[in-house]
């Protein structure tokens, strides 16, 4: 990923950047929120930290702001369990109690790769901890792939500035435990 190219193009799109995160800042964030940045996202955030509205300002956001962004996928699943009769077959018989249903969903989300917020409701999984994880658009259980990897995602999100006429996925999409199942569930 050509970091200069992506940063410069995003700046043309109006994205503001602060200096990149240090290794110690990365380690502190990972320890505090119990996930690992995939290598491509880590490299990007260490090169330059996007701080415009919608992005996570990993340096200056409050713990509550970050915690709320990290909870968004789970809360969306719970919303759809309660309001849209969402339930995965592999979870077994749906309990009568919402609290029990939410506990089942929480267990599934906690055992799945953590979703790390990038921009608004776009997330990248922390596992496998390697370059090339897909980026998901997560809105309740309406979950789709928004990029086959971080670069593809940025080109889709800010397509006008990357001379991309429409949203499209380039390259093979890596299957991600649990989250890819939700994409398939909605297809």
Reported residue count of the chain is 187
CA distance 158 to 104: 36
CA angle 107, 145, 44 (to 5 degrees): 90
Q: What's the whole-number mean pLDDT along residues 42-71?
A: 97
Mention every residue, 6+ apart, whose C-beta is less than 8 A from residue 28.
Answer: none
Residue 66's CATH number: 3.40.1580
Taking only the tens place, the pLDDT of each residue in 127-185 is 999 999 999 999 999 999 999 999 999 999 999 999 999 999 998 999 999 999 999 98
pTM of the model: 0.96
Split at pLDDT 50, 70, 90, the class of 47 is very high
Average pLDDT of the chain to the nearest whole number: 97
Segments of the chain assigned E as strands: 17-19, 48-50, 115-119, 122-125, 135-139, 142-147
The 8-class DSSP code of residue 173 comes to P
Measured between alpha carbons, how far is residue 167 from residues 149, 152, 173, 174 in Å?
14, 10, 15, 18
5-28: pLDDT as tens digits: 999 999 999 999 999 999 999 999
Predicted confidence at residue 173, as pLDDT, reads 97
Q: What is the pLDDT of residue 22?
A: 98
- Alpha-carbon gap, residue 28 to 1, rounded angstroms: 25
Please tell me the distance from the alpha carbon of residue 41 to that of residue 55, in angstroms, as a whole number. 13
Q: Please state the domain count of the chain.
A: 1
Residue that the structure tokens 């390697």 belong to = 130
pLDDT score, position 185? 82
By residue range, what is the domain housing residue 156? 3-186
């Amino acid at each position: 990923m050509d970091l200069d190219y992506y940063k410069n193009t995003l700046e043309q799109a109006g994205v503001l950047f602060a200096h990149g995160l240090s290794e110690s800042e990365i380690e502190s964030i990972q320890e505090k929120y119990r996930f690992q940045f995939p290598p491509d996202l880590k490299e990007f955030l260490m090169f330059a930290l996007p701080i415009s509205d919608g992005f996570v300002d990993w340096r200056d956001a409050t713990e509550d702001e970050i915690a709320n962004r990290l909870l968004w996928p789970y809360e969306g699943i719970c919303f759809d369990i309660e309001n849209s009769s969402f339930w995965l077959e592999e979870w077994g018989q749906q309990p009568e109690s919402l609290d029990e249903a939410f506990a089942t969903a929480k267990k599934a989300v906690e055992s799945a790769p953590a979703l790390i917020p990038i921009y608004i409701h776009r997330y990248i999984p922390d596992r496998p901890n390697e370059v090339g994880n897909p980026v998901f658009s997560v809105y309740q259980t309406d979950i789709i792939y928004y990029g086959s990897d971080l670069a593809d995602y940025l080109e889709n999100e800010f397509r006008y500035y990357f001379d991309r006429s429409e949203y499209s996925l380039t390259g093979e999409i890596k299957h991600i435990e649990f989250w890819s199942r939700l994409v398939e569930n909605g297809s």
